[in-house]
Each structure stands twice: as C-alpha cells, then as structure tokens.
Amino acid sequence: MAEAEAREIALVESGPCAEAVQYNPERQLIEIQLKNGAIFAFPPHLAQGLQNASPSELEEVWLGADGLSVHWDSLDADFSIPGLIQGIFGTKAWMAELDRKGGQQSSLAKQQAARANGKKGGRTKKTQPL
C-alpha cells in the first residue's frame, strides 16, 4: 500500500495534474486547467460515454482530489488526465472505432492522392505464394 501511495505522489509531482475542469458550452469543449498553467481541451464527442451527453450533463464534471482524473457521476464516465492528454478517450474498442471513422474522412488532399494513385494503376496486386 505504501508503495502505491509513493507512486501516486511521484506521479502527482511529475505528471500533468489538474487544478480545475469545466465544460465550456460556447466552445463545446471540456477544458482542463493544469497546475503548470497549461490548458488541455477536447470535444466531448471524442470521449466514450460523453458523445450523446447534454450540455447540462457535461457541466456536472468534477475533478478527482489528486488532480489526476475527471468524473461525471450521472454519465458513469471517468477519465485519467494523463490518459486524456495522451489521446486516450476510452477503451481499446472505442479508440479503434474512432480511428476507423477518422480513416473514412475524405479531404481534398486525400481525394487528389487517390486519383493520382489510380492513374498509376492503383494498389499493387498481392502475389499468391506458389
């Protein structure tokens, strides 16, 4: 137990610790004020369990006493601050789905690259082993 407490104290002293969290309805962002003065913000639709939440539900966010986590009791959602900063917004399955959706986005640059690749003959064919 003492070892776990020592690790948590070291993490609090060295890692990104929050001193405040709020939902900003004007910007539609969860904003986390870190103790070092930096601000981290993300749109709720990225986070598992927050994607369909109303603004009033999002405003009910609270910060863990250690400054390492944020919580929404009514939404049954909890996130670690270091995880959020690393871009971890849910379970592995949730993150895989976010990646899949991101890969489906079509930008002008992506369309142009696909057309240029098509003019070259498209993807190379996989050869079958003999």
Q: What CA–CA distances, in Å, run from 94 to 46, 47, 99?
A: 9, 9, 9
Q: So what's the pLDDT on residue 85?
A: 92
Q: What is the mean pLDDT of residues 18-33?
A: 96
Residues 6+ positions from 7 with CB-CB distance below 8 Å: none
pLDDT band, very low/low/confident/very high, at 10 (cuts 50, 70, 90): low
> What's the token pair of residue 106?
């079509």
Domains annotated for the chain, with CATH where assigned, are 2-92 (3.30.2020.40)
Model confidence pLDDT, tens digit, residues 52-91: 999 999 999 999 988 999 999 999 999 999 999 999 999 8
Position 116 scores a pLDDT of: 78
Mean pLDDT of the chain: 85
